Structure 1
Amino acid sequence: MSTLSISIVIINIILALLFSLGAAPILVWIERRVAGLIQDRLGPNRCHINGIRLGGLIQSFADMLKLVFKEDFQAKAIKERFFFSLAPVIVFSSAFLSFMVMPFADDLVINGERFIMQGLPIDLGILWFLAFAGLSVYGIMLGGWSSRNKYSLLGAMRAGAQVISYEAAMGLSVVSLLITYGSVHLGDIVAYQGELLFGFIPAWGIFVQPLAALIFIVTAFAEANRTPFDLAEGESEIVGGYHTEYSAMRFGLFFVGEYVAMSASSALIVTLFLGGYHLPYLNTQTLQSFMPWILMFVILALPVASFYTMRWIQKHNRWHKAGDVRNRESAFLQKGLIGINVLFIAGLGALLLLGLTQTSTNVATAVIQIATFALKLLLMNFVFVWVRWTLPRFRYDQLQTLGWKVLMPLAIFNIIVTATIVVIKGL
């Protein structure tokens, strides 16, 4: 492998780590701040490092450090200690690996060499995600069984029954997508969504397969054990469910694994139904052809966005107590924001003045598409959090009824309709 190939592989792995594992503390922060917003309170905003709070994000890192140094307690009743320790590792690893096939941008071409922009450059695509997403339930059931706790065992049994119910509907909704797209490779699926339907509608999955999108999003909530499908935890009924007996970093792996799974589910929803890394009406070819104008727009938009960001910082990061160390943060962040703007504008301006080569255009396209994917991923994660603090938890019989009697028939019906339309179009 050449140095360039190794560099691209390292960049893809770093991006996968940032979007999955690195997003966990940010998602915890978003969860708490959105909960505070919906419940008309502030959320975490006091924890700081020498006055730097980052809007409350430091609280997430403080909680992570607490879990690292907390006593790892195990009840004497636990006999299968190896399986007890293995369970959270399975949950975390399966959630993390399911993210590795998400395409962050279109294939990058440099000096005639093509690079796939995803953590693992393989063609399994959605089959890889389904395999590892379903594997996480083994960790949950193993943890519940090895805990020797009736509440943990009940939570594990609930998780197993839930996955069987909702993975069937999820798989059937994916079948209709595969019939439409004709490929399991996620890069091909996103490339399809860069086109237009009837000349003016983006060919995103949510417009091409709206029923499959609805089924898949609902089942993705169940796969990630998120409210209103979090009966495997059910704090009000079974204490904490499958992780009742866990503490310290064993619990931390369960905790982080849930957010990584949520991020992976959001990434797949974005990839299958929301155009992936494509901007509306701007596929890769259009983006490259209009690149000078797009860079000029970015140069003009950066100061405007920074102005409103500074106003938000001044409004929310001001402490009335004189001499409070946290008052330093506003000035520090404003200077940092100005410095970043100057660097970006100077770099983009120099790029435009010197002229865009084919390689620089391809790299700029990849950067814009990665930023687009990150923004869509953040918005989809926000939807997961929003639903949690809006809808109550289902009863267990309601959960099973929805899975078997509603989603399953709808998914089968969608396959029949999709196959019929594809056959008629092929005649």
Structure 2
Amino acid sequence: MTTVSLVVIIINIHIALILATGMTPILVWWERRVAGFIQDRAGPNRCNIGPIRLGGLIQSIADMLKLVFKEDFMPTHIRYKLFFTLAPVILFFCIFLTFGVIPFADDLVIDGQSHMMQALPMELGIMWFLAFAGLSTYGIILGGYSSGSKYGILSSIRATAQVISYEAAMALSVISMLLTYGSIHLGDIVVAQGELVFGFIPAWGIFLQPLAALIFIVTAFAEANRAPFDLAEGESEIVAGYHTEYSAMRFGLFQVGELAALCAASAIIVTLFFGGYQIPWLDTQALKNNIDYVMIAIIILVPLKIYILTTWMKKNNNWKDSSNVRAKETAILNKIFWALAIGTVALFGWFLATGLTQNGIAITVAVLQVLTFLIKFLLVALVFIWIRWTLLRFRYDQLQMLGWKVLLPLSLLNIVITATYIVVTGS
């Protein structure tokens, strides 16, 4: 393994870590703020470090620190202490490993050598993802079963019922995608989505397989244990279900695991159905051929976006509290954003003036594709949060009816239609 290969793998592992765990405080803050917006209230916005509130983000950091320093208490009625301890670890690591095969950008070619832009350079693709996403459910089942609590046992039963309700439909919807793109390797699937249908429609999964996309997205909500399919947790019915008896960082691991599952579901949905890292109408080669025009667009658009953002911040933060904290924070953030904009413009202006080498072009394109992936990823995560605070929870018999009587027949029908089209057209 060369030094460049090692550096690329380390970078990809860090991206996976950021998406799986580093996003936790941001998603907690985002969820609270979106919930507040939907319910017509402010949400958390008071916790601060000096003049810095970050719109309530400091509250999430404070909550994480609180969990770290809380007493890790284990009730005396726990049946299987080993399973009780391992359950949150199993959930978290299985979810984290699903990020190993997500391609964050097209293969990076440095000095003629190609490097896969994913944490684990393997070609198991969607099979690896489905395997570890399915195994993560054992963390929930073991956590509830080993608690020795009626709420935990009920949660384990619900989790088991939920798994058998959605797994078959999810796997069959993926088969339609594999027939369409002819590969289980997620990198190949995303590359194929860089092409155009009829010369102007991106060959994204959402356009080629809308029914498979609908089935997979619905089952992904159940896979991530998110409302309206958060049956195993069911706070209004079974307190907190499988993590009722957990405290401190064991409880924290379950929470991080749940948010990591949201991130994993968002990442795989973007990869399969929304073109992954592909910029619409600009595949990797087109980006390389038009890199100068892309950098000019960035130089123009970044300051414009920062101007709109800072103007909006001043308009919505123009009132003063007793300590003038909000005005101070707004001023600090405005300076930070403008510093980032000036730095971006200066960097890309220097690139334009001096010209990029072949390696420089490849790295620049990879960075743009990673940023594109992150933007799509955050938008899908926002949909997950939006749905949670919009729809009511299903009963688990309703989920079973949906899975076996609606989604499963539809996914089988979709496979038949896809296979028939491929055989008839020979494509």
Please name the residue that 1:224 is paired with: 224
Alpha carbons 2:320, 2:326 under 8 Å: kept: no
**Deviation of 1:318 (Å):** 4.7
Q: CA deviation at 1:170?
A: 0.3
Q: Which residue of 1 aligns with 2:131?
A: 131
Residue 186 of structure 1: aligned partner: 186
Equivalent AA in structure 1 for residue 120 of structure 2: L
Letter in 1 for 2:259: Y
Aligned to 1:413: 413
1:48 equivalent in alignment to 2:58: no
For residues 335-414 of structure 1, the aligned pairs below 5 Å read 335-414=335-414
Is contact 1:144–1:242 with CA below 8 Å preserved after alignment? Answer: yes
Q: Hey, what does 1:9 align to over in structure 2?
A: 9
Q: Deviations over 1:348-394 (max 9, x none)?
A: 10100111222111111111100000000000000000000111011
- In structure 2, the residue matched to 1:165 is 165
Q: SS of 2:100's equivalent?
A: coil
Number of aligned residues = 427
- 1:243 and 1:257 mapped to 2: Cα distance? 12
Cα shift at 1:317: 4.1
- Please identify, of 335-344 and 196-205, the stretch whose mean Cα deviation from structure 2 is larger: 335-344
Structure 2 SS opposite 1:148: coil
Counterpart in the other structure of 1:250: 250
Q: For the residues of structure 1 that align with 2:20 and 2:240, how far apart are their CA atoms?
A: 24
Match of 2:106 in 1: 106
> Which residue of structure 2 aligns with residue 152 of structure 1?
152
Higher alpha-carbon deviation: 333-342 or 129-138: 333-342
- Structure 1 residues 13-72: Cα deviation after superposition (integer angstroms, max 9, x where no partner): 111111221111111111111101100111111111111111111111111111111111
Q: C-alpha separation between the residues in 2 aligned to 1:261 and 1:190?
A: 21
> Matched residues in 2 for 1:60 and 1:311: separation?
26
Deviation for aligned residue 1:165: 1.5
For 2:355, give the aligned amino acid: G
Pair 1:118 & 2:113 matched: no
Q: Secondary structure at the match of 1:114?
A: strand
- SS state at 2:99 partner: coil
Query: Where does structure 1 differ by over 3 angstroms across 4 or more consecutive aligned residues?
Result: 315-319, 322-327
The answer as to whether partners of 1:194 and 1:278 remain within 8 angstroms in 2 is yes
Aligned partner of residue 98 in structure 1, secondary structure: helix
Aligned to 1:62: 62
Provide the aligned C-alpha RMSD in A. Answer: 1.2
**Secondary structure in 2 matching 1:246:** coil
Percent identity, aligned pairs only, is 62
* CA–CA distance in structure 1, aligned partners of residues 322 and 143 of structure 2: 51
> 1:129 is paired with a residue of what secondary structure?
helix
Q: Which amino acid aligns with 1:214?
A: L
Instruction: Output the CA distance in 2 between the equivalents of 1:393 and 1:2.
Output: 51
8 Å contact kept, 2:225–2:258 = yes
Q: After the TM superposition, which of the residue ranges 319-328 and 35-44 deviates more from structure 2?
A: 319-328
**Greater alpha carbon shift after TM alignment, 378-387 vs 339-348:** 339-348
Match in the other structure for 2:196: 196
Conservation of the 8 A alpha-carbon contact between 1:55 and 1:317: no
Q: Distance in 1 between the 2:390 and 2:352 partners?
A: 47
| Structure 2 unmatched runs, 5+ | none
- Which whole-Å CA distance do the structure 2 matches of 1:242 and 1:338 have between them? 46
Per the alignment, residue 72 of structure 1 pairs with: 72
Q: Paired residue for 2:265?
A: 265
- TM-score normalised by L of structure 2: 0.98
Q: Secondary structure at the match of 2:276?
A: coil
